[in-house]
Structure 1
Amino acid sequence: MSEVEGLITRLQQCADGFRLGHDVEAAMTMVQLIETAQAVIDSAAPKQRQDWEALLGLMFECQQGQNWLALADYLQYECVELLRCVGIR
Structure 2
Amino acid sequence: MTDLEHISHDARRCARLFRLGRDIEGALKMVELIDAALPTFTARPADQQAEWAQVLTAILQCQERQDWIGLADWLEGEFVALCVQ
After TM superposition, the score normalised by the length of structure 1 is 0.92
Query: Which residue identity does 1:2 align to in structure 2?
Result: T
Partner of 2:58: 58
Partner of 1:12: 12
CA drift of 1:68 comes to 0.2
For 2:55 and 2:77, the matched residues in 1 are separated by 11
CA drift of 1:57 comes to 1.0
For 1:84 and 1:4, the matched residues in 2 are separated by 7
For 2:70 and 2:61, the matched residues in 1 are separated by 10
Q: Secondary structure at the match of 1:76?
A: helix
Partner of 1:80: 80
Q: Would you identify which runs of 4 or more consecutive aligned residues in structure 1 move more than 3 Å? A: none
Partner of 2:29: 29
The percent of aligned pairs where both chains have the same amino acid is 35
For 2:50 and 2:44, the matched residues in 1 are separated by 10
Structure 1 residue ranges without an equivalent (≥5): none
CA drift of 1:60 comes to 1.1
RMSD of the TM alignment (CA)?
Answer: 0.6
Structure 2 residue ranges without an equivalent (≥5): none
